Amino acid sequence: MSGDERNRVLAEIISSDTVGGIHLQRVGEILIAHERVNTQALHQKAGGASPKRPAIDIDAIERALELEDRYCEVWRMCQERGREWRLAEGLHLLEQSLRETAEHLTGMALRDA
């Protein structure tokens, strides 16, 4: 899944009337963490890396992509399955997958700061 597709899913979540405040909070955390990671990557690319500031870990990036694909998958399931499933399981799974992504990205940003 491309970055544009992931951003489109985040926009769908934000504009949905089926999610709660916690989902919006998690999307915000993801967006902030993305900005921090991207800023650090640009800084490193511009020659700002030092021995104290290692390059961003490829394994961490791959894990982030897996987590982002997961929340996209859960969001699609929330759309495709019925209201009953969404309320019983879907929204909880969505919050969990958004939280895991936000925590991982925030951890990447803090490690590379």
Contacts of the segment 63-67: beta carbons below 8 A, 24+ positions apart:
63/104, 64/101, 64/104, 64/105, 64/108, 67/97, 67/100, 67/101, 67/104
Q: What domain range is 27 assigned to?
A: 3-111
Single pTM value for the model: 0.87
- pLDDT of 3 reads 84
- pLDDT of 45 reads 72
Q: How far apart are CA 50 and CA 46, in angstroms?
A: 12
Total structural domains within the chain: 1
Per-residue model confidence as pLDDT tens digits over 62-103:
999 999 999 999 999 999 999 999 999 999 999 999 999 999
- pLDDT of 94 reads 98
- pLDDT of 56 reads 64
